[in-house]
Structure 1
Amino acid sequence: MAIQVAVCGPARCTSAEAEQARHVGELLARAGATVLCGGGPGVMAAAARGARSAGGLVVAVRPDDGRAVTRTPDEDFSAVVMTGMGQARNVILVLSADAVIAVGGSWGTLSEVALAMRRERPVVVLGGWRVVDPAGEPVAGPVVVTTPAEAVRAALEAAR
């Protein structure tokens, strides 16, 4: 089975974050990985678009039941899982992934990073949350990178 990498990030992202996510999705697809995402706008849509542009497989794990008005166009997804679970769907997304790449940051993204770390999934952070301990030192675990290529390389190496 192909390696599955979740690409997480804010629904409301900057244009730079969207471009990074698109490039991450494209590179994952070119490497033969299946891209998992939350099925929404912003980073999720950009990662899906990048993966599909490279002929990749994209699975969206949606928080709703399919009746939502604001959705990313279905052509960006190979398959859609409607959970009806709201943000609790983050657990399904993370547990389905061999590694997680977080692009940018939002409260939902921080939730996905924390869930992945608790479930011992490798986490790669590209321009997003930096978690520190009470002394201000970085918490061990997430790998911080600065480019989409580094993010994909680190996630695939950790997933193997």
Structure 2
Amino acid sequence: MPLQVAVCGPRNCPEADWAHAYEVGRLLAEREAVLVCGGHGGVMAAAAAGARSSGGIVVGVLPDADRVNAGPDLTVAIPTGLGEARNNVIVNAADAVIVVGGSWGTLSELALAMRAGRAPVVQLGGWRVLDEQGRPLSGIRHAATPQEALALTGLWA
């Protein structure tokens, strides 16, 4: 069975995050990993487009009960009717989670992945989560580039 990697990020994102997500998706497809995402716009759409550009498989776990708003680059669209609770499905379907950018929904995915022990969790840009002393929380790996993000998953030698 191929590796499944969740790519999480905001629906509305700056151009730099879009470019990073596209490249992450493309690199995952080159490594024959299945990309799992939320199936809508922004980082999700960019990662899906990148994966599809290299012939990859993209699974979109949709918040809605139908596929009407599914992104055009999805290979498989799974309507859940769960709203934001679908974030739990996304991270539990993954062997690793790569977070690109930041938003409240993205932060929830990062937190769910950490709580579920869905290591590794790699963050590329976005918000930094700090403890009560202002130190970065342990367990989250920080990447500066899409290539480094994939390397930090440790899934490929």
TM-score range, shorter chain: over 0.9
The separation in 2 between residues aligned to 1:89 and 1:114, in whole angstroms, is 14
Residue 129 of structure 1: which of 120, 127, 130 is its match?
127
CA RMSD of aligned residues (A): 1.4
How far does residue 46 in structure 1 lie from its aligned partner after superposition?
0.3
Structure 2 portions without partners, runs of 5+: none
Residues 36 and 61 in structure 1, CA contact (< 8 A), matched pair in contact too: yes
Could you tell me which residue of structure 2 aligns to residue 78 of structure 1? 75
Residue 108 of structure 1: which of 101, 105, 110 is its match?
105
Residues 67 and 77 in structure 2, CA contact (< 8 A), matched pair in contact too: no
How far does residue 129 in structure 1 lie from its aligned partner after superposition?
2.1
Residues 21 and 44 in structure 2, CA contact (< 8 A), matched pair in contact too: yes
Could you tell me which residue of structure 2 aligns to residue 51 of structure 1? 51
The separation in 1 between residues aligned to 2:132 and 2:98, in whole angstroms, is 25
The separation in 2 between residues aligned to 1:67 and 1:97, in whole angstroms, is 21
Cα–Cα, structure 1 residues 133 and 158, in superposed 2: closer, same or farther, change >3 Å? farther
Residues 8 and 43 in structure 2, CA contact (< 8 A), matched pair in contact too: yes
- Deviation >3 Å, runs of 4+: none
How far does residue 128 in structure 1 lie from its aligned partner after superposition?
1.5
Using the aligned pairs only, state the percent identity: 55
The separation in 1 between residues aligned to 2:156 and 2:62, in whole angstroms, is 23
Q: Which amino acid aligns with 2:122?
A: V
Q: Which amino acid aligns with 2:126?
A: G
Structure 1 portions without partners, runs of 5+: none
Q: Which amino acid aligns with 1:5?
A: V
Could you tell me which residue of structure 2 aligns to residue 118 of structure 1? 115
Residue 90 of structure 2: which of 89, 93, 96 is its match?
93
Q: Secondary structure at the match of 1:16?
A: helix
The separation in 1 between residues aligned to 2:74 and 2:70, in whole angstroms, is 11
TM-score w.r.t. the length of structure 2 is 0.95
Residues 3 and 159 in structure 1, CA contact (< 8 A), matched pair in contact too: no
Could you tell me which residue of structure 1 aligns to residue 136 of structure 2? 138
TM-score w.r.t. the length of structure 1 is 0.93
The separation in 2 between residues aligned to 1:129 and 1:54, in whole angstroms, is 29
Cα–Cα, structure 1 residues 2 and 123, in superposed 2: closer, same or farther, change >3 Å? same
Residues 60 and 74 in structure 2, CA contact (< 8 A), matched pair in contact too: yes
The separation in 1 between residues aligned to 2:141 and 2:37, in whole angstroms, is 19
